[in-house]
Amino acid sequence: MRRVAVFGATGSIGASTLDVIARHPDRFRATALTANDKVDELVALCVRHRPDIAVVADASRYAALRDALAGAGLHTEARAGSEALVELAGSDACDTVVAAIVGAAGLPSTLAAARAGKRLLLANKEAIVVAGALLVEAVAANGAELLPIDSEHNAIFQCLPGPAIHGAARPGVRRIVLTASGGPFRGRTRAQLAEVSPDEACAHPKWRMGRKISVDSATLMNKGLEVIEAHWLFGAAADAIDVVVHPQSIVHSLVEYADGSMLAQLGNPDMRTALAYGLAWPDRIDAGVAPLDLAALARLDFEAPDRAAFPCLDLAYRALREGGGAATVLNAANEVAVSAFLQGRLGFLGIATVLAAALDALHGARADSLDALLALDAEARRVATTLLRSP
């Protein structure tokens, strides 16, 4: 019986994880659930799944969580604060951690899980983008299992030989190809993107996601972050990672081998497939996902991304090649810029402008410890916020 802690339980990844767990009560139990500040939603999940521990990241919401759990007649222990998240990730309350906290906020608990030797199902791409070297080193040094839950990286993992990922290059692999849906604005020119709204950017044609990641998909920054993630997960150089737009979102990614073979993982666009594979690996279990009907699909299309209309992709490649703290700067500036766009304070095209300026301003920055990374993250956010106020 795997004891699973779901970090970010009230989000879409959390919902999918809990759905898979509920389908296999003989194999999995959700022993801990966390949320940022959505106490009512977290308590509702606790009523259904009966975890031992519930944590709310916002320390000011502790009393509300404690009282709501008691009012529901639950014996679930209430905890609160960022330190409680870190403590939970490293504790014996769980042997498996689903890291689905959005943004850099998920980094400390993700590292704690790796250092405690957990099975780590990584849905938070920012953690490895910001601290790839630290995370991979922690996994290897402590015997943790790092299993990616992004559909693209999970697909690559399924197409690669060998054990759970430790960041090493695989023999015989020539190239990794990440597929991208193209987002809601595929086919639009740069000029046509000038006046798009946040609601338009969040209307993803294939995936149901939170607003931040939906905007990242619309700018192709999500794919750029995945390029950086693939570098750390699979030991692939920037020149050995390609991106191809595949609007049907059926082929989730591909691996090209030295002998000319190319292996792909296909499936309906449903995160439960990747989560079930990560939870049960190396076994395969029912995820509740409908099988593919290839005849009904009829065709699968592929095209090159429009890098002129969507420059965020190339900015991610730039950050990967620069190394040091560039990816940390990119991620932090992107979170600030996307938030400003969602609030109506920045145009869609301005996101890439802010990111490029932040990379220029902090070029050559380095960070080789968690404290240094968090300090650089804060500085990059300050710089990006200043850039938003610039004329």
Which structural domains are found in the chain, ordered by start?
A: 2-148 (3.40.50.720)
Do 32 and 55 contact (CB within 8 A), yes or no?
yes
What is the band of 105 on the pLDDT scale with cuts at 50, 70, 90?
Answer: confident
More reliable by pLDDT, 281 or 367: 281
Q: Output the six-digit token pair for 368.
A: 């080789």
Mean of pLDDT values over 322-335? 95
Task: Report the share of the chain in percent with pLDDT over 90.
Answer: 85
Q: Do 221 and 186 form a contact (C-beta atoms < 8 A)?
A: no
On whether 142 is known to bind a ligand per the annotation, the reply is: no
175: phi then psi, degrees, rounded to nearest 5 = -160, 145
Smallest Cα–Cα separation from 317: which of 304, 327, 305, 306?
A: 327
Task: State yes or no: 334 annotated in a binding site.
Answer: no
Distance, C-alpha 102 to centroid of its chain: 7
* 110 assigned ligand-binding residue: no
Q: What is the dihedral of CA 290, 295, 298, 300, to 10 degrees?
A: 50
DSSP-assigned letter for residue 207: -
Is 268 annotated in a binding site? The answer is no
Instruction: Write down the pLDDT at residue 164.
Output: 65
Q: Which pLDDT score is estimated for 234?
A: 92
Rounded average pLDDT over 368-374: 88
Is a pLDDT exceeding 90 seen at residue 188? yes
For residue 264, give the 3-state DSSP assignment: strand
Evaluate if residue 31 carries a pLDDT over 80.
yes
Angle at alpha carbon of residue 192, lines to 187 and 197, rounded to 5°:
105
- At residue 183, the pLDDT reads 87
Whether the per-residue pLDDT at 389 is higher than 90: the answer is no
The response to whether 145 counts as a known ligand-binding position is no
The amino acid present at 72, given as its one-letter code, is A
Report the candidate in 132, 285, 129 with the shortest Cα–Cα distance to residue 222. Answer: 129
The verdict on whether residue 151 carries a ligand-binding annotation is yes
Q: How far apart are CA 107 and CA 7, in angstroms?
A: 11
Is 124 among the annotated ligand-binding positions?
Answer: yes
Q: How far is CA 44 from the centre of its chain?
A: 24
Separation between Cα atoms, residue 226 and residue 209, nearest integer Å: 16
The reply, when asked if residue 125 is annotated as ligand binding, is yes
Say whether 223 counts as a known binding-site residue. yes
**Measured between alpha carbons, how far is 20 from 294 in angstroms, rounded to an integer?**
25
Which stretches does DSSP call E strand in the chain?
2-7, 28-35, 53-56, 77-80, 96-99, 119-122, 145-148, 173-180, 241-245, 251-257, 262-266
Contact 181, 214 (CB under 8 A): no
Q: How far apart are CA 13 and CA 272, in angstroms?
A: 8
What pLDDT was estimated at residue 171? 84
Residue 292 pLDDT class (50, 70, 90 cuts): very high
Residue 118 labeled ligand binder: no
Report strand pairing: 2-7 vs 28-35.
parallel
Cα–Cα distance between 209 and 293 in angstroms, integer? 24
Residue 10 annotated in ligand binding: yes
What are the pLDDT digits (tens) for 120-170?
Answer: 999 988 789 989 999 999 999 999 999 999 899 999 999 997 766 767 778
Q: Is 322 annotated as a binding residue?
A: no
Does 371 appear as a known binding residue? Answer: no
Q: Tell me whether residue 24 is annotated as binding.
A: no
Distance CA 204, CA 211 (A): 10
Q: Is the pTM of this model over 0.85?
A: yes
Q: Which tokens in the block code for residue 172? A: 């015989």
Q: Are 119 and 96 in contact (CB under 8 A)?
A: yes
Residue 109 is assigned to a ligand binding site:
no
pLDDT of residue 391: 59
